[in-house]
Structure 1
Amino acid sequence: MSEEFKLGDLVWAKMKGFPPWPGRVSNPSKEIKKPAAKKGPTFCVFFFGSNNYAWIEKANIQSYHQHKDTLISSSKTGQFKSAVEAIEDFIAKGEVFEDGPDPDSLFDRLKEETNTDVVAKSPKPTKPRKETPKAKRSESSLGSRPAKKRRESTASNSNISSTSPALNHVSPVPPPRKSTSTLLNRPANITRPVTPLLDVETMSQTLKDKNILPSNLKFGFLGLGIMGSGIVKNLINSGHHVVVWNRTEDKCTDFVKAGAESVLTPSDVVASADITFSCVANPQAAKDMIFGNCGVLTEITSEKGYVEMTGIDAETSQDIGEAINAKGGRFLEAQVQGSKVQAEEGTLVLLAAGDRTLFDDCQTCFEAMGKNSFYFGDIGNASKMNLVLQLVAGVTIAGLAEGMALADRIGLQQKDVLEVLELTSLACPAILDKGRAILDCDFQPQLPLQHMQKDLRLTLGMSDQLEQNLPLTAAANEVYKHAKRLGYADYDASAIYMGAKF
């Protein structure tokens, strides 16, 4: 004869893929909706140990006290034993029987006591919550194996979220450890940062002080991103004749108002200009400018010069240089050291290599862009120099982020750390600026995090070819990648702090 269960009854509830689990018939919360697909009567069950809920069919529920001696040995896992201890503790505190004290008040009190370190709705499930009922695992996989080995589950198990759409429940899995509870506070739904509008027509005081006599040549520029916008602004305001192109055409509007020309394709820029600069996102984008549809190569002649300012590796730079030279054109790589502020102020440092005559023809442009320019000879040398400098910068920022995260974790005031740091030999604009950004959680992009991670990746690739160990760079690269996965790719490199903290 089947039993009838009522609110507050202690039960054994069986879910597919799990042993019978101690629970309590409970009122479902608003977010736990009753599934329509269940056959026959169902009850909402609270699972001890995991503090989760599920709708269970009546046929899969048995009285806890009646079947305790039989089912208490159905599993020997630590999670199961913790669940049994939790329900026994519940009984010991409240003496929960049909004629005993009000079960709901006792249950609510226990839940409040045992749930202090568990966030009810986390933005991202913790490792234990990947054990969903849909995963068909044997009882041995829930046995007494080490915790790390339990991660070796089926592919379907790893892709199922903590709430199964088919069963509309949360699986009876163990609660997260206290040491990882802070991970549940990680930010979610990171939105793309809004880049402030650039005042293109206003000349900076730095540029005024340079008093540049512009070249009579016509210059093209491909890419009006964070760096490109500031560079073109200074070219225009220093009196150079500039033709611009950008993948999203509306970005060209303000530059046209300031005196630039705008054309439809990269090949149109090369056709209109004597020397064309390119500053895009990554090596692949740089190659697309050259070899893509309506690309640069279609208009390169012996009278044209091409300057690559994108942060790329030496091999990519050499490939581009060979393609330009094959068409009779001149090629120069001009890597940039600096960020958004330096680009807008005209205080970048430029690292050039390639055609020396092209380097000389670009001098008035380089004066407008930066405070100094260096020539390193053969194509590829400037890219190598830039990656070495980016390695130092990337590892330094990562170290700062980890230090600030540790200070916060151990209860120190981050502003005190920064104040002391400012008085030491470590004080420099890069560390102090990134430290303030971390302190204020203001990660408006100066140098995007994804670009820094890209440079570290290229550096590791370069070192791998030479079998040069870069353990610190490799470790820092992983933290940047983690921050990217959290959604901070488009934010400033200082947002690596979020990867270090969470």
Structure 2
Amino acid sequence: MVIHPAQTVVGFIGTGVMGKSMAGHLMQAGYQVHLFSRTKSKAQELIDRGAHWSETPGSLAQQCDVILTMVGFPSDVEEIYLGENGILSNAKPGSYVVDMTTSSPKLAQRIEDEARSRGVYALDAPVSGGDVGAKEARLSIMVGGSREAFDAVLPLFQKLGTNIVYQGEAGAGQHTKMCNQIAIASNMMGVVEALVYAEKSGLDPATVLKSIESGAAGSWSLSNLAPRMIAGNFAPGFYVKHFIKDMKIALQSAEEMNAKLPGLALAESLYEQLAASGEEDSGTHALYKLISRL
């Protein structure tokens, strides 16, 4: 299949903080887009712009050549792909399914096995870049599955991101995303502690940021999320509850590989405390609230 706006119908499932922007980019590129979301109101803006609504994942799959999913948890992924009226039991042979949720590597392998048995190509393609990356089509996309499927779907990925890397067979994209989340988890603790230290020492955190963000301490979180912390803006670019989910997946995978990740374990325990204090729907940078109270 040659993927082209004039002849490819795209399905998109999950129109949340990131999915809404991603689906919008595909529409802007000229693709006919069919949508499904558990909460239809989240998709209404895209429907008003011309997207087609489907009542179930299965009915969407029947109409589409490529289906992309961006949902919350592995349990959602499993239900949408492997459920009774899910994608794979309804997808057309020769179609492509691409899960862009951060999910379990093992589940990605299960989906790929089931897809192959039905003549469907499956990719796991989690992303990094948050709400800003999704809005600006600058996501990093890390992809697992067959190289043939990756090459076919690449034109769609290029409408969503700027750093698109094929990582290997099924599950490789998810394993790569775990590496990303592990690095973010410890880095976020450092960013938060640096700001708290700056405040306690009587410095202006915004002025401190000017000195450290372009030096050896520089990171995406320091440049993009530290200003939000300073401004008291904890709206989610990425939810605390979803980050906890990611860290749990990484810790479980690490345990299965006999890898010890003490920094990740500490970060996960701190985020559990943060969620228990009522911040599970805040952005991940709300860790600042917890650390500043300790």
Q: Is TM-score (shorter-chain normalized) higher than 0.5?
A: yes
Deviations 1:305-338 (A, max 9, x none): 2111110121111112122222221111111121
Cα distance, 1:411 vs structure 2: 4.1
Match of 1:451 in 2: 242
Match of 2:159 in 1: 368
Q: Is the 8 A contact 1:215 1:364 kept in 2?
A: no
Matched residue type, 1:284: S
Equivalent pairs counted in the alignment come to 291
Structure 1 423/272 Cα, relative in aligned 2: closer, same or farther at 3 Å?
A: closer
**Bigger Rg, structure 1 or 2:** 1
Q: How does 1:18-97 map to 2 (within 5 A)?
A: none
Q: Is the 8 A contact 2:237 2:283 kept in 1?
A: yes
Structure with the bigger RCO (C-alpha within 8 Å, sep 6+) is 2
Moved over 4 A (4+): none
Match of 1:149 in 2: none
Q: Are residue 355 (structure 1) and residue 146 (structure 2) matched?
A: yes
Could you tell me which of 435, 450, 464 is aligned with 2:255?
464
367-376 vs 278-287, which moves further: 367-376
Q: Is the 8 A contact 1:414 1:439 kept in 2?
A: yes
Q: Is the 8 A contact 2:61 2:92 kept in 1?
A: no
Match of 2:232 in 1: 441
Could you tell me which of 204, 211, 232 is aligned with 1:420?
211
Give the SS at the match of 1:467.
Answer: coil
Structure 1 213/326 Cα, relative in aligned 2: closer, same or farther at 3 Å?
A: closer
**TM-score normalized with structure 2 length:** 0.93
Could you tell me which of 276, 281, 300 is aligned with 2:91?
300
Could you tell me which of 136, 140, 157 is aligned with 1:345?
136
Match of 1:270 in 2: 61
Structure 1 482/410 Cα, relative in aligned 2: closer, same or farther at 3 Å?
A: farther
Give the SS at the match of 1:226.
Answer: coil
Structure 2 Cα separation of the partners of residues 486 and 410 of structure 1: 27
Deviations 1:27-83 (A, max 9, x none): xxxxxxxxxxxxxxxxxxxxxxxxxxxxxxxxxxxxxxxxxxxxxxxxxxxxxxxxx
Q: Is the 8 A contact 1:218 1:275 kept in 2?
A: yes
**What 5-or-longer segments of structure 2 have no aligned partner?**
none
Q: Is the 8 A contact 2:123 2:150 kept in 1?
A: yes
Report the RMSD for the aligned CA atoms in angstroms: 1.8
Among the aligned pairs, what percent are the same residue?
25
Deviations 1:13-34 (A, max 9, x none): xxxxxxxxxxxxxxxxxxxxxx
Match of 1:99 in 2: none
Structure 1 Cα separation of the partners of residues 20 and 81 of structure 2: 21
Matched residue type, 1:444: A
Q: Is the 8 A contact 1:447 1:492 kept in 2?
A: yes
Q: Is the 8 A contact 1:218 1:273 kept in 2?
A: yes
Structure 1 Cα separation of the partners of residues 264 and 220 of structure 2: 21
Cα distance, 1:281 vs structure 2: 0.4
Q: Are residue 484 (structure 1) and residue 288 (structure 2) matched?
A: no
Match of 2:174 in 1: 383
**What 5-or-longer segments of structure 1 have no aligned partner?**
1-211
Match of 2:111 in 1: 320
Matched residue type, 1:249: K
Q: Is the 8 A contact 2:10 2:33 kept in 1?
A: yes
